[in-house]
């Protein structure tokens, strides 16, 4: 799939372009992955924190199974450094917390806050776009706090405000199943969309300055959000339905609408969202790059970014240390320096600033 931009790549080595760019990953599940591995350090996956062995997440979820343990952590401070990632959206998926959604989220963010404090020379919490830019200039990494599945707000806009005060700047309205806010993608065949509470939630997120995430939402819910939201939204980790027919992916009409909204789709590394047989056979990198190229063709270069889903199924790349492979692949396909910078992070930074300041 060829790109149509008439600009060409400069002579700048792709490694230098990558280093100079603001690089943003709009979705990972690293917090829960660290906790379930015995509270391993954000700075060193071989070091555990024995004083924090008991937690809501550890109790409810237990340790990761041996096959996941063998894979290891995909995203932490050293691997972000190695892969040239400047900012990452650290999501806490509360779906499996069953009636303990808020406690689960607070447990996760409490652990993460302690880790950030212990590694303050390397990483900080970003509440606004300027925090990401300032961290980049200072040689530090930036973390955006995210909730995946709005059940964490326990159907209360007051809790939403408290989470905002804590530093949460983006919420995915659903996971696969229905929530108080909307139907999820696994139940979209029933025709459900945003509920009345979901409409109020989107409006209040707009008011507070939080980025609405439509990954995992039903198609009707998607259209409801775009009709209501006054700010651009993101699909933090979704791919193209034309290339892989899955309810988690976006149709051409959705990609175009997301662009008209000013939003961004974060192309994800989950094999099953790249090819229909991705759950049983790892697709080649070229097929992931096809999703980038297709989304760019349909939505436009200003509306595509990267949402790996590291530590949550984004296994096409081994870990964050291999992030440069995306820029290399885009370069090989003829995308210009400017285009690559947009996909690497400028598009997500623009939308984050539009929603959060």
Q: So what's the pLDDT on residue 284?
A: 97
Picking from 133, 194, 205, 195, the residue whose alpha carbon sits closest to that of residue 168 is 205
In a domain, 64, yes or no: yes
In a domain, 7, yes or no: no
In a domain, 4, yes or no: no
Q: So what's the pLDDT on residue 97?
A: 93
In a domain, 61, yes or no: yes
Distance in angstroms (rounded) separating the CA atoms of residues 267 and 237: 6
Q: So what's the pLDDT on residue 1?
A: 45
Q: So what's the pLDDT on residue 4?
A: 45
In a domain, 8, yes or no: no
Range of the domain at 72: 14-356
* Domain at 87, CATH number: 3.20.20.140
Instruction: Give me the half-sphere count of Cα atoms (radius 13 Å) on the Cβ side of residue 93.
Output: 20
* 175-229: pLDDT as tens digits: 877 788 776 776 767 767 899 999 999 999 999 999 999 999 999 999 999 999 9
In a domain, 9, yes or no: no
Domains in the chain, number: 1
- Tell me how far apart the terminal alpha carbons of the chain are, to the nearest angstrom: 36
Picking from 294, 233, 238, 290, the residue whose alpha carbon sits closest to that of residue 258 is 233
Q: So what's the pLDDT on residue 2?
A: 42
Question: Which parts of the chain register pLDDT below 70?
Answer: 1-7, 50-53, 183, 186, 188, 191
Distance in angstroms (rounded) separating the CA atoms of residues 31 and 44: 14
Q: So what's the pLDDT on residue 53?
A: 61
Q: So what's the pLDDT on residue 113?
A: 96
In a domain, 5, yes or no: no
In a domain, 251, yes or no: yes
DSSP states along 302-337: GGEEE---BTTT--SSSSGGGTHHHHHHHHHTT--H
């Amino acid at each position: 799939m060829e790109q149509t931009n008439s600009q060409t790549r400069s002579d700048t080595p792709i490694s230098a372009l990558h280093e100079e760019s603001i690089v943003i990953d709009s979705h990972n599940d690293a917090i829960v992955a660290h906790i379930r591995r015995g509270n391993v350090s954000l700075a060193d996956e071989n070091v555990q924190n024995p004083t924090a062995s008991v937690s809501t997440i550890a109790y409810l979820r237990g340790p990761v199974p041996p096959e996941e343990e063998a894979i290891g952590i995909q995203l932490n401070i050293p691997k972000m450094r190695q892969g040239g990632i400047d900012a990452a959206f650290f999501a806490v998926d509360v779906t499996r917390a069953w009636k303990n959604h808020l406690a689960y989220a607070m447990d996760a963010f409490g652990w993460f806050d302690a880790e950030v404090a212990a590694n303050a020379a390397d990483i900080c919490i970003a509440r606004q776009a300027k925090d990401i830019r300032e961290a980049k200039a200072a040689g530090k990494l930036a973390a955006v706090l995210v909730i995946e599945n709005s059940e964490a707000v326990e159907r209360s806009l007051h809790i939403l405000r408290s989470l905002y005060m804590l530093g949460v700047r983006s919420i995915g309205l659903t996971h696969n199943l229905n929530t108080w806010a909307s139907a999820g993608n696994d139940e979209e065949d029933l025709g459900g969309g945003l509920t009345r509470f979901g409409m109020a939630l989107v409006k209040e997120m707009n008011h507070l300055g939080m980025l609405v995430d439509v990954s995992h939402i039903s198609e009707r819910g998607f259209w409801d959000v775009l009709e209501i939201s006054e700010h651009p939204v993101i699909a933090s980790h979704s791919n193209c339905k034309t290339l892989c027919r899955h309810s988690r992916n976006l149709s051409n009409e959705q990609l175009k609408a997301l662009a008209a909204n000013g939003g961004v789709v974060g192309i994800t590394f989950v094999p099953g969202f790249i090819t229909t047989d991705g759950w049983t056979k790892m697709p080649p990198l070229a097929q992931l790059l096809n999703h980038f190229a297709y989304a760019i063709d349909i939505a436009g270069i200003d509306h595509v970014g990267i949402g790996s889903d590291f530590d949550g199924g984004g296994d096409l790349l081994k870990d964050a240390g291999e992030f440069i492979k995306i820029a290399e692949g885009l370069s090989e396909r003829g995308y210009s320096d400017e285009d690559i910078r947009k996909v690497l992070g400028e598009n997500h930074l623009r939308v984050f600033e539009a929603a959060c300041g």
